[in-house]
Structure 1
């Protein structure tokens, strides 16, 4: 679902298919966040009500709620700051340290073992993402230090949130609903302070907003919560590098890019890395 972020963002009128920033008649990022997280939270409330599980929304702890809000809102605020203060290519490369950091940080969790193949798989995934991004023309310059620092902060926020979620296994995934609604309100505040309101001008634009709220800025966070709490966290970290690859392939399929050798190399490296990281899981041994 996260791999559809670029495609659906392009539909909202953003001039950068990767979702990196806003210009012209693009829907500003914090406004888009407000709409998408608001939609995701509202739909989750309806679904939980239909299932008789509305109590899940408040079945959390202050620490768990603060962690989730920090993950959802903090990550996006830092990521947007990075894109506004550094070139998108370089900012994205630094941002995509988060899957590798998830694998590294997971070794600090009780009951988790960080093995050499987990690290190797994540490193190969980062190499694949790096090839894909650097091929777009990365050139780090000191004048963009604030943007680079914000991108690193975004990677640290998301990886820390993901790993620390493991410490709250008894908090139901439905509690993410409240964090989505709070994130929407905080994003609205940032939008009113820092942005000029721009509504989608076409039906395609509104379809893009709804699609974002349903999937990459909606349901994806709920299933990620399940994965972080119940899944193989090292394998998920390494496999997360499929996101930029699949995103690129989707954009190519819909006419936003070209199929080149860096794309092929990146696909091969990410796939190899994910398979290596999942060695024990695939062989049925732990």
Structure 2
């Protein structure tokens, strides 16, 4: 029989794999749906579905209502991570292929580290500075990789806006998870994002009437799976493994998004964008690297004071 710890580890790994696949598929689905839905209407449709699905799970169990002081952070998380992020990403993918958008948005972990240095007093270690320079260079390479000019440049800018909104939203969410269940925080933030996108309701109604039924089902997929299910499996896995290991799994999203974009949409990033994306991900990896500390030398229980080395 599999031991309890190993079983938990396998379940966590499976949950993380589900999250990565669904988040990668979201970039491809957004690119596909964007041919019939505007950025705002798509955001509202996805968030409404996500809020309904998450709400069904939240209200099926005992709930803890947020304290008054939690609402400020919930508003920041909901407006930025679920509202601005979705609108900016959807608009970006009207100009960029799914793989390039995924590579750019995945500078988010680096931005989170920068924000932690600025707002949480965690400082700016050398690897963070080096990683930031490398990632910035990658963004510049991607931005100059297209010969078409303005449309792609605006796509890069919108992806960076999405990455910044994602990073600020995560930093705002972090303290909430110590006081509230992850599922409830996600549902509230998703609902706040949906409310913020309500001005796009007339466009959603109009475009839904003109869209093919298959495209509407893709919006349902985006809300139910990459939004509701993927955030739930992410929280499950995060509770059973280290944040560093979970953060490293997001590096698998861009290559998988590139593969899915090639498979289903017959498109892929420009050759130079591949180099820029690799440089972005390398910068993120360097910024997140934490060298292992050397183990403390074992001490003799009878004589805990060790003798100095003759080479010292």
Coarse TM-score class (shorter-chain normalised): 0.5 to 0.7
> How many angstroms apart in 2 are the aligned matches of 1:104 and 1:94?
16
SS at match of 2:202: helix
1:201 aligns with 2:207: no
Aligned twin of 1:157:
165
SS at match of 2:261: helix
SS at match of 1:280: coil
1:172 aligns with 2:181: yes
Aligned-pair CA distance for 1:246: 3.4
**Unaligned 5+ runs, structure 1:** 16-25
Aligned twin of 1:22:
none
**Residues 127 and 269 of structure 1: is their aligned pair in 2 closer, same or farther, counting only changes over 3 Å?**
same
1:6 aligns with 2:17: no
1:62 aligns with 2:71: yes
Aligned twin of 2:52:
42
**Which segment drifts farther, 267-276 or 212-221?**
267-276
CA RMSD of aligned residues (A): 4.4
1:73 aligns with 2:54: no
Aligned twin of 2:128:
118
The answer to whether the Cα contact below 8 Å between 1:37 and 1:184 also exists between their aligned partners in 2 is yes
**Residues 43 and 195 of structure 1: is their aligned pair in 2 closer, same or farther, counting only changes over 3 Å?**
closer
Aligned-pair CA distance for 1:62: 1.7
Aligned-pair CA distance for 1:240: 5.3
The C-alpha deviation readout for 1:128-169, integer Å capped at 9, x for no partner, is: 45545543336359xx99x99876654443322222323333
> How many angstroms apart in 1 are the aligned matches of 2:221 and 2:249?
23
Match of 2:224 among 198, 214, 230: 214
Alignment of 1:21-36 (within 5 A): 26-36=36-46
Aligned-pair CA distance for 1:177: 0.6
1:279 aligns with 2:307: no
Aligned-pair CA distance for 1:257: 1.4
Alignment of 1:136-151 (within 5 A): 136-137=146-147, 139=149
> How many angstroms apart in 2 are the aligned matches of 1:73 and 1:4?
19
The answer to whether the Cα contact below 8 Å between 2:30 and 2:93 also exists between their aligned partners in 1 is no
> How many angstroms apart in 2 are the aligned matches of 1:166 and 1:111?
15
Aligned-pair CA distance for 1:36: 1.5
> How many angstroms apart in 1 are the aligned matches of 2:285 and 2:77?
29
The answer to whether the Cα contact below 8 Å between 1:125 and 1:239 also exists between their aligned partners in 2 is no
Aligned twin of 1:18:
none
Count residues with an aligned counterpart: 262
The C-alpha deviation readout for 1:157-216, integer Å capped at 9, x for no partner, is: 33222223233332332222122123223323223279843344133x244222211233
Larger gyration radius, structure 1 or structure 2: 2
TM-score, scaled to structure 1:
0.68
TM-score, scaled to structure 2:
0.63
**Residues 235 and 131 of structure 1: is their aligned pair in 2 closer, same or farther, counting only changes over 3 Å?**
farther
